[in-house]
Amino acid sequence: MIRSTSARICAGALLATSAGFVATQETVFDTANPTAEFQFTRLIYSSGYGDFDGWGRNWRIDWPHAEFHFMQGLTRLTRIDGEEVNRYSGDGARAISLSDDSIFNYPWLYAVEVGRWVLSDYEAGRLREYLLRGGFLMVDDFHGSRQWSGFLASMVRVFPDRPILEIPEDDEVLHVLYDLDQGVQIHGIRLLGSGQTWEGNGYVPHWRGIYDDSGRLMVAINFNMDLGDAWEHADWPEYPEPLTALAYRYAVNYVMYAITH
């Protein structure tokens, strides 16, 4: 059963995923003795094309600055007891693979660059179990038709019988704390000064989801968006403040929804 607290998590270095990727002490960040009830939890997954360093580490993009800034916002804007994250070392956050049994102690997972993930059958089954047992997955920072196909190739193995739907405007996740605007495309920092807000052919922002049999949102899909960049560059004068504020509000809603549903 998914629990809403991560304060009971034991210490331990994460050594490998089921697909064989080895994560050393240098690539895994964790808090040995968490002091708060909620930790930012990033999903380690097996990668396919376009690994940014050749070692399957697309899952690490924007770390640890995205974690640092988001947790600062979460604890400031809500009464959630959130673990503080060190902006340089990542201490206070957690990265976890689907092979780690302690994943079921975390109500909320964040996965980035999922257009490049390649989940094994084992990983797909574990993610399905995690979500059906009450977990919540937020996916972010993937763009255009090619990356959508990459995301879908693994996601349909997780849920071959569940549709991916546009999140309706009256869905509780869009109103649980903040009333959210689905019409704004939250773009990455590399587009600043370019006059465009899209990458590849990802012209239109989409807020999509996968629901369980009771109508609970299990997977929040931020497509043609980069919320992680908006958090990471929250203190950059060059990055538009309205986009950072909206990215915070979306993720705060996701966390609030995850720990109350």
Residue 176 sits in a domain whose CATH number is 3.40.50.12140
pLDDT in tens, 98-152: 999 999 999 999 999 999 999 999 999 999 999 999 999 999 999 999 999 999 9
| pLDDT 10s digits, 51-108 | 554 445 789 888 999 999 999 999 999 999 999 999 999 999 999 999 999 999 999 9
Write down the pLDDT at residue 56. 53
Q: Report the predicted TM-score, pTM, of the whole model to 2 decimal places.
A: 0.86
In a domain, 60, yes or no: yes
Q: Are 161 and 60 a contacting pair, CB within 8 Å?
A: no
Average pLDDT of span 154-161:
97
- Report pLDDT for 233: 92
In a domain, 65, yes or no: yes
| pLDDT at residue 6 in the model | 34
- Segment 210-221 shows an average pLDDT of 98
Does residue 27 fall inside a structural domain? no
**pLDDT-derived band at 192, boundaries 50, 70, 90:** confident
Q: Which of 195-204, 205-214, 227-236 has the lowest mean pLDDT?
A: 195-204
Beta bridge partners of 206: 223
H-state helical runs in 85-133: 121-132
Helix or strand or coil: residue 47? strand
Instruction: Please indicate, yes or no, if residue 18 is contained in any of the structural domains.
Output: no
Cα–Cα distance measured from residue 248 to residue 7, given in angstroms and rounded to the nearest whole number: 23
Confidence of residue 33 (pLDDT cuts 50, 70, 90): low
Percent of all residues in the chain with a pLDDT value above 90, rounded to a whole number: 70
Instruction: Between 207 and 51, name the one with better pLDDT.
Output: 207
Asked, for residue 13, whether it belongs to a domain, the answer is no
Asked if the structure places residue 33 within a domain, the reply is no
Rounded CA separation 108/144 (Å): 25
Q: Is the residue at 70 inside a domain? A: yes
Q: How many domains does the chain have?
A: 1
Kindly tell me the burial class for residue 31, based on how many C-beta atoms sit within 10 Å of its own C-beta (0-12, 13-18, 19 or more).
buried
Closest CA to 241 of 83, 80, 69: 69
Taking 60 as the threshold, does the pLDDT of residue 186 lie above it?
A: yes
Q: How far apart are the first and last CA of the chain?
A: 12
Average pLDDT of 204-228?
97
- Whether residue 22 lies inside any domain: the answer is no
pLDDT at 196: 76
Write out the residue range of the structural domain in which residue 83 sits. Answer: 41-260
Answer yes or no: are the C-beta atoms of 149 and 156 closer than 8 Å: no
